[in-house]
Structure 1
Amino acid sequence: MRKKKLNRLIQLSILSVGITSQAAFAQSSVTLYGVLDAFVGAKKALGGESQVLAGSGGMTASFWGMKGTEDLGGGLSAIFELEGYINIMNGQFGRTGFPSDGLFSRNAFVGLKGNYGTVTAGWLTPPLWLSAIFFNPFFNSFVFSPMILQTYVGVNGQGVFGDAGEWSNSVMYVSPQMGPFSGKAAYSFGNEAGHLGQNKWSGQLSYNMGGFAASAVWQQVKFSITPGDLGTSLPGLTTQSVMNIGVSDDFGVVKLFGQYQHIWDYDTTGNVGVNTGQLGFSIPVGQGHILGSDAYSKSSGHSTVYRNTWALGYDYSLSKRTDVYTAVLSDRATRRSSGYTVGGGLRTAF
């Protein structure tokens, strides 16, 4: 009799643990997602030679990711995110032209989210990158977006340093939405002995109401990838500061985009300022959108060079998650023969 009671207690305990585990699992979630993008076309880089190519990431750099959340109670959740770029043309990790991309080079962080905001730590996306991509019609395309090319693929000493889109060894705070306003602050540690003054930091204030959105970002970096490397990126460079203001307004028949950006390069050989302006539009036509953008950068101070890049394209939706696109880009800069890119591709999300 006592043995039967003991077995019954064991069965009830196992059932209780199972129910508890299921309840805990129900409060957690993990999502797998990504974007795959392939294109074919022709390209001539500034000062380079023409080539016909098949590439990965014409409109969006192909990537895959997984993210999860766990409800800790009291309005607090634990979160994580892991995202890695994929070159679908050769099956390797990373983006074309970025040999330093690792397994999870798009995002890798863990954090806490609650009523007072979100705190994350890891390999993070800085606010400047988000402002640059959301306030231009070609979003984050390194192939067809004039603003992205002029900001992160600079020539003649122009452009933003501090990695293209991600900061390592970073912490970030994102405020809760306060009406139409929200804010972000990010800090990246140098993580090397003897380089206590080497860091990156950034802050952003955003506004979003109806079809109108605006963002103001300030960023300062004292190293690009590793402490002490700014001078190798641009001889004599010690610190770079960037201000970016972006706006967009959706009128239904057209969505307009605009950005103004100023870069201060503090250089031992002579300081340089770079002013960049970008205007763009997205016009709904049929099941797609006509996209257009023009960006112009002019340096002043110790350097006086310019760059003008424009692009025109059409993005056609086959479904809610799959589209085809075609676009052409023209690129001109001081002391460089002109460049161009023309092509089309297929993009699908999962």
Structure 2
Amino acid sequence: MLAIVDYTNNTFAATLCVQRIKIRTCPSSSAANLGPASNQMDTHAAVRYTVSLAKDVPEYQHFNYGDISRKDDIGKIGTAITLNPSNQILASCARDYITFDAQPHKSRETASIAYDYTLSERTDAYIAYPYDKATDFGTANILIAGIWHRF
């Protein structure tokens, strides 16, 4: 089941989405038997507002993994700042608050900044730097550059 409510009015937009996934177990295929994870629910809410040359998007997501006692609450915010028609700066950060049974909660923080340059109507060149840190793990730092072409 999937339900989406979407509202747009000039510089403001809002979306609410609820998705329920029920996967039936299949006795003839052990790979398809997900056991307690076969009943999942995802709720996602987001708004977008445009102020001058910037588009800001705060979001919230809640994942409930059915009979598994893990739950994820994710808060995100992102922005796209248009410098001129060919240049854009993108930035985002997110925090995932993870609970699992009676264990202490875990968290994961991610952030990224990127620069996008339009080469043509369908092609962009970009460079991005994402950062990732999870509880009980180290950090990841990556530099990415590429060309994106839309067919």
Partner deviation per Cα, 1:250-294 (whole Å, 9 max, x = no partner): 123211011101111222xx5222110000101111321100000
What is the aligned counterpart of 1:246 among 36, 46, 49?
46
Residue equivalent to 1:229: 33
C-alpha distance in 1, partners of 2:22/2:117? Answer: 42
How far residue 301 of structure 1 moved from its aligned partner, in angstroms, is: 4.7
8 A Cα contact 2:118 2:124, kept in partner: yes
Q: Which amino acid aligns with 1:203?
A: A
* Bigger helix fraction: 1
Q: Which runs of 5+ in 1 are unaligned?
A: 1-200
How far residue 334 of structure 1 moved from its aligned partner, in angstroms, is: 1.7
Q: Which amino acid aligns with 2:121?
A: K
Q: Which amino acid aligns with 1:342?
A: L
Residue equivalent to 2:70: 272
8 A Cα contact 1:230 1:239, kept in partner: no
Q: Which amino acid aligns with 1:278?
A: K
How far residue 237 of structure 1 moved from its aligned partner, in angstroms, is: 2.5
Partner deviation per Cα, 1:162-204 (whole Å, 9 max, x = no partner): xxxxxxxxxxxxxxxxxxxxxxxxxxxxxxxxxxxxxxx1111
Residue equivalent to 2:29: none
**Structure 2 counterpart SS, 1:237:** helix
Q: Which amino acid aligns with 2:88?
A: H
Residue equivalent to 2:89: 290
How far residue 337 of structure 1 moved from its aligned partner, in angstroms, is: 2.1
Residue equivalent to 2:130: 329
Partner deviation per Cα, 1:114-159 (whole Å, 9 max, x = no partner): xxxxxxxxxxxxxxxxxxxxxxxxxxxxxxxxxxxxxxxxxxxxxx
C-alpha distance in 2, partners of 1:237/1:322? Answer: 40
8 A Cα contact 2:39 2:66, kept in partner: yes
C-alpha distance in 1, partners of 2:106/2:34? Answer: 20
C-alpha distance in 2, partners of 1:251/1:210? Answer: 11
Q: How many residues align?
A: 143
Residue equivalent to 1:172: none
How far residue 344 of structure 1 moved from its aligned partner, in angstroms, is: 0.7
**Structure 2 counterpart SS, 1:319:** coil
User: Larger Cα Rg: Structure 1 or Structure 2?
Assistant: 1
Work out whether 1:299 is the aligned partner of 2:98.
yes
How far residue 346 of structure 1 moved from its aligned partner, in angstroms, is: 0.9
Once the two structures are aligned, what percentage of the paired residues are identical?
A: 28
C-alpha distance in 2, partners of 1:293/1:229? Answer: 36
Q: Which runs of 5+ in 2 are unaligned?
A: 27-31
Structure number with higher relative contact order (C-alpha < 8 Å, ≥ 6 residues apart) = 1
* Bigger strand fraction: 2
C-alpha distance in 2, partners of 1:259/1:204? Answer: 15
TM-score w.r.t. length of structure 1: 0.39
Q: Which amino acid aligns with 2:141?
A: Y
Residue equivalent to 1:319: 120
C-alpha distance in 2, partners of 1:274/1:343? Answer: 27
Sort the Cα spacing of 1:339 and 1:285 in 2 relative to 1 into closer, same or farther, 3 A.
same
Residue equivalent to 1:310: 111
C-alpha distance in 2, partners of 1:223/1:337? Answer: 34
C-alpha distance in 1, partners of 2:56/2:115? Answer: 16
8 A Cα contact 2:53 2:83, kept in partner: no
What is the aligned counterpart of 2:9 among 176, 200, 209?
209
How far residue 215 of structure 1 moved from its aligned partner, in angstroms, is: 0.6
Q: Which amino acid aligns with 1:336?
A: F
Work out whether 1:263 is the aligned partner of 2:63.
yes
C-alpha distance in 2, partners of 1:297/1:207? Answer: 26
Sort the Cα spacing of 1:291 and 1:202 in 2 relative to 1 into closer, same or farther, 3 A.
same
